[in-house]
Amino acid sequence: MASPKKYYCFLFASVLAISIFFNNGTAIEEETEAIGSKPWLTVSLSSLFPSHTCTPLTGLKKNSGLEVIQRHGPCGELRHGKANPKTIPTHFDILSEDQARVDSLHSMLSKRLSHDNMKQLDSIELPLLPGAVLRTNGEYIVTIGLGSPEMNLSLIVDTGSHLTWTQCKPCIVKCYNQQEPIFDPSKSTTYSHINCSSYTCNQILSTARYQECPNSPTTCIYVAKYMDTSTSAGFLSKERLTVAANNTFDNFLFGCGQNNRGITFGGAAGVLGLSRHPISFIQQTAEAYNKVFSYCLPSNPSYVGHLTFGSDGVSKDVQYTPISNIPELTSLYGISIIGITVGGINLTSVTSTLSSAKAIIDVGTLITRLSPSVYTALRSEIRRRMAMYPMASEMSILDTCYDFSGYKTVMFPKISLVFGGGVKLDLAASGIFIAVSPKQVCLAFAANAREDDIIILGSVQQKTIEVVTDLNDERLGFGPPGGCK
């Protein structure tokens, strides 16, 4: 699952419904809709970009909360040092890598696959695209403790990965470069291997197609394969895992990686698996957290978000929609998107397509992907309402971009998503556009290749919103924008 030279993937705050736009003092007339409450978002152009300092998070739960940061930018650099400029991808690289992850997801869920192939793909790890998705603005890192004595490790948050793993000494075959020292199990008093003949190795791990026991009659070997050909292989093990303020879990199952290959994992120590699979972190800590976790992704790299386990402290303003089970890949978090509104007006032409489409929510995907007909309707309405602004050239998969270089403030219509059960999510200002530069600010949605490709709700649209996952009651919750900055 490094970010660009300038961290522009964030936008707009504050809401205002007015009919006059100001272009450096020049009034521009624009129609407004009376329907809906405050259908326009407005912001100063300078707020499209992060500051040079990191603003700390306040109110984090000490016993069950972790800080979520984007690896590069002020907050990431504060903890891990500055990235090598040579390793920082361009915006084009970021979007290309994001599309590669989406293509992998679609290949697993495509209706064109035969039933046998679908069974096979169901057993493959969700493509994390290490070093690709992990280097983009979708790169979110938390720090956990492992071992006795405890060693802090930065792990990538991935709601599509099953197994939690980290690189381990002695790195029998290969380890990539990471920010922290590599975990050494020989120095921990609570570390142990899993036997190859055990129930855990033969039943639980094998259901994820991780388990292998070649030439190893005693030690269970895991192999995590990603669809960009990257792999992590090593010993399935048990260890003490520490979450936040000494909240510990003994005998936590994790992968102790001895051979980690492919595109680099962005300097992180490994992956925190938050899928629905029985071996995931959420399932292993069910007794303590009741299979509930929530997160809030920061609006840009100058801020810190959170990943919190358990239901204590979840906002009363959260609205819940049922988790939709996708038979082809049950470990993903399925959702039902039934409507889209733009500036308070419902796009009625897309209702039928949305109601019959499969959809998931994914932290590892940056840009939300919609069915071609749905995206066309959304794009047309955005372009109609923003016709007063000069358009800019396209950026990779983003085809609706504007030149705001002549403006001190900009405005655009509010976008809301409607989910099953009537839950309506008003996207935060930071969840609608991506700013490459003042001369190129692009709508953060894209079209799938085919109408029956799965819809993916990406991380941009989730920014500043408290997202709650409750596996015990099989539901997903969305709070209003502003759950974090």
Pairing of strands 26-29, 423-426: unpaired
Helix/strand/coil percent split, the chain, to 5: 20, 35, 45
Give the integer Cα–Cα distance in Å for 315 and 297.
16
Please, how many CA atoms are within 13 Å of residue 233, restricted to the half-sphere of its CB? 18
Instruction: Determine how many CB atoms are found less than 10 A away from the CB of residue 29.
Output: 8
Residue of 98, 158, 426, 470 with catalytic role: 158
Query: Could you give phi then psi for residue 33, rounded to 5 degrees?
Result: -95, 140
Q: Identify any residues that bridge with 42 across adjacent strands, giving them in sequence order.
A: 411
Residue of 116, 184, 312, 362 with catalytic role: 362
Please confirm, yes or no, whether 426 is among the known catalytic residues: no
Give the integer Cα–Cα distance in Å for 318 and 483.
10
In terms of C-beta density within 10 A (0-12 exposed, 13-18 middle, 19 or more buried), how is residue 46 classed? exposed
The answer to whether 225 touches 208, Cβ cutoff 8 Å, is no
Q: Identify any residues that bridge with 15 across adjacent strands, giving them in sequence order.
A: 41
CA 395 centroid distance within chain: 21
- For 171: left if phi > 0, alpha if psi spans -120 to 50, otherwise beta; the answer is left
Cβ within 8 Å of residue 264, ≥6 positions away: 130, 131, 176, 177
Please confirm, yes or no, whether 93 is among the known catalytic residues: no
Give the H or E element holding residue 475: strand 475-481
Q: Letter for the amino acid at 263?
A: I
Give the position of tokens 């001190």. Answer: 408
Give all strands (DSSP E) within 184-303, no chain letters.
192-193, 211-212, 221-225, 231-243, 247-261, 270-273, 292-296
What does the DSSP 8-state code read for residue 350?
G
Cβ within 8 Å of residue 294, ≥6 positions away: 306, 307, 308, 314, 466, 467, 468, 469, 477
> Which are the catalytic amino acids?
158, 362
